[in-house]
Every structure is written in structure tokens, then in C-alpha cells.
Amino acid sequence: EHRLQLMKLQSMIEKISGKAEGAEVEVGLMCLKEIVMAMKRSERDYHFQRVATEAAAAAARPVGSDEHLRMVELEASNAVLEAAARKLRKKEEELMQVEDE
């Protein structure tokens, strides 16, 4: 879903860029570009966090049970996804405020 939204936004930016006229359109384009960059950063951050979580779980594996370690991995993964979702909601709110102005 995240990847699909990212592609839709990039497509929208390309379409609007060719027809862009006026300060309001330019501001909107700039906001869309910021959202796309934030989405890419959150995706990258998620992958880095996932790798770090897997490495930590692999290092701890001799100490804990597989079920416990899997739960830790899932909780860490969920925390990363929730943080990314909060970032995207904040950017969406900022874009809505700009559009209302």
C-alpha cells in the first residue's frame, strides 16, 4: 500500500509539473515533493530498522526462546511502522493546511 501511494504521488507530481502555473500550484507541488521524500525516508528507515532488529534477534537467539524472539521482532517492526504512519499523517495534515490557505 505504501509503495502504491508513493507511485501515485510521483505520477501526480509529474502530471502537475508540466502544467504548473502560479504560486499556489508551485507551493502544492513543493508540498507533494516533500511528502514523497518523507515516504521514501520512512521506507528506508523501516528497512534499516528491520535489519537491525533481525541482527539483534539473531545475536540474542541462544538466550531466548524462538517464540519470545519472534514477538520482540514483531513489536519492533510494529513500532517502526507506527512511527512511519505518524510521520505520513503529520505531512498530510501540513499539506491540507497549505491547501486550505
Greater confidence (63 vs 71) lies with 71
- At 25 the pLDDT is 72
39, 2 Cβ separation under 8 angstroms: yes
Query: How many angstroms separate the Cα of 10 from the Cα of each of 28, 54, 73?
Result: 13, 31, 32
| Mean pLDDT computed over 4-31 | 75
What does pTM read for this prediction?
A: 0.45
CA angle 53, 59, 64 (to 5 degrees): 95
d(C-alpha 38, C-alpha 28), whole Å: 15
d(C-alpha 5, C-alpha 8), whole Å: 5
- At 57 the pLDDT is 73
